[in-house]
Amino acid sequence: MQLPKTIADKIAALLDATNIDQLRTASKQLTENYHTSHRGVRTPDQHLAYVAARMPATYAVCRAVLDKIGHQEIKSLLDLGAGPGTASLAAKDVFLQLDKLTLVDKDQQFRSIALELLPSIQYALDDLTHFVSEARHDLVLCSYVLNELNDAAATKLVMNAWQATQQFLVLIEPGTPAGYTVLKNVRQQLMDEGAYVVAPCTHHQACPLTGNDWCHFSAHVDRSSYHRLAKDAALSYEHEKYSYMIFSRQAVDRPLYRVIKRPMQRSGHVIFDLCGDSGVHRSTVSKKQKDRYSLARKISWGDGWDFEDD
Ligand SMILES: C[S@@+](CC[C@H](N)C(=O)[O-])C[C@H]1O[C@@H](n2cnc3c(N)ncnc32)[C@H](O)[C@@H]1O
């Protein structure tokens, strides 16, 4: 997955006048910020480094998550903690009828960048710790923002986001134990408010993952030349780990199980770990199971699975 060419070209133009050594330093500082308590994007160069080195990955994740909603008529969107507009861009590419985009963030420089990348949007400068939406939106997104807030502020934001949701609320966080824990904590609170979980959970039971296990997935990201330069990286791709939850106002069809680890393709059989309403179990599909073997060969981490074990 990569950013659409028109957007990648606009980003390349934004970065054109930037000194590459400064960009690399800022990119390293950004990684440091996220690994320490100094969360977030601080200096002007770090904003550009975010756009060059993080935005392609968060875009790929948003696309992967929004694709799980499937074909729905989504016309309006509220993107909370929008940054440079990553999640909105992904939503525009998934939901072709989307024409009313409202973005909110407290960051002036990200607002300017988003307005360059996505001209027909409303972008409000506001602090999410006391933000309340007056209108409802078909889709509400919080992408990589809850982990920048403390627990109480994150919970309050999610409840406000749910009040603003007409159809779907999508929460995306880094695929780390901390990112997963934030989502697990708000899941029950949202269900208490009547929310249906669309994905990744295929059930409304408590999350069965325990110990050192956490629910996360991986997106393949193609690196552009400026992405490689900013990260001083040789590889033409990277894998971005993420955790997410999609909630809906209406009950939706869900698969019986979710594949929660990378499937293991072996000679004559496929092994995969599934999560469903009876918990987590390992399933093996062999060549002899003609009704499902070809599907199992193609299955990916994060996909749904609709067969009970024989
Ligand atoms: C990691 S960036 C994510 C940007 C974008 N959603 C994405 O997925 O690429 C987090 C964003 O949350 C915003 N943010 C953090 N705390 C905020 C607050 N209290 N009020 C408004 N915005 C906030 C930051 O300014 C930043 O733009």
SS3 116: helix
| Structure letter (DSSP) for residue 130 | G
Judge if the beta carbon of residue 131 lies within 6 A of ligand 1: no
Q: Using CA atoms, how far apart are residues 237 and 224, in angstroms rounded to an integer?
A: 8
Question: Which atom of ligand 1 is nearest to 85's Cα?
Answer: 5
Measured in Å, residue 271 CA sits from the centre of ligand 1 at 38
Name the residue of 105, 110, 112, 130 whose CB sits within 8 Å of the most ligand 1 atoms, as the mutation to test its pocket.
Answer: 105
Helix (H) or strand (E) holding 34: helix 20-35
Q: How far is CA 200 from CA 107, 160, 207, in A?
A: 30, 22, 11
Measured in Å, residue 39 CA sits from the centre of ligand 1 at 10
Query: To which residue do tokens 């690994």 refer?
Result: 35
Name the residue of 29, 31, 51, 148 whose CB sits within 8 Å of the most ligand 1 atoms, as the mutation to test its pocket.
Answer: 148
What does the pLDDT look like over 108-166, one tens digit per residue? 999 999 999 998 899 999 999 998 998 999 999 999 999 999 999 999 999 999 999 99
Which pairing describes strands 196-199 and 137-143: parallel, antiparallel, or unpaired? unpaired
Judge if the beta carbon of residue 106 lies within 6 A of ligand 1: yes
Closest Cα to atom 26 of ligand 1:
83
pTM assigned to the model = 0.94
Measured in Å, residue 165 CA sits from the centre of ligand 1 at 19
What does the pLDDT look like over 25-67, one tens digit per residue? 888 888 887 777 657 888 888 899 899 889 999 999 999 999 9
Name the residue of 27, 63, 106, 110 whose CB sits within 8 Å of the most ligand 1 atoms, as the mutation to test its pocket.
Answer: 106
Judge if the beta carbon of residue 157 lies within 6 A of ligand 1: no
Close Cβ partners of 241 (under 8 Å, ≥ 6 residues apart): 174, 175, 176, 216, 217, 218
What does the pLDDT look like over 201-212, one tens digit per residue? 999 999 999 888
Measured in Å, residue 83 CA sits from the centre of ligand 1 at 5
Indicate the length of the chain as a whole number: 310
| Structure letter (DSSP) for residue 163 | H
Closest Cα to atom 9 of ligand 1:
86
For residue 120, how many other CB atoms are within 10 A of its CB? 9
Residue 238: pLDDT band by 50, 70, 90 thresholds?
confident
Judge if the beta carbon of residue 146 lies within 6 A of ligand 1: no
For residue 278, how many other CB atoms are within 10 A of its CB? 11
Structure tokens belonging to residue 98: 């989307």
| Structure letter (DSSP) for residue 148 | G
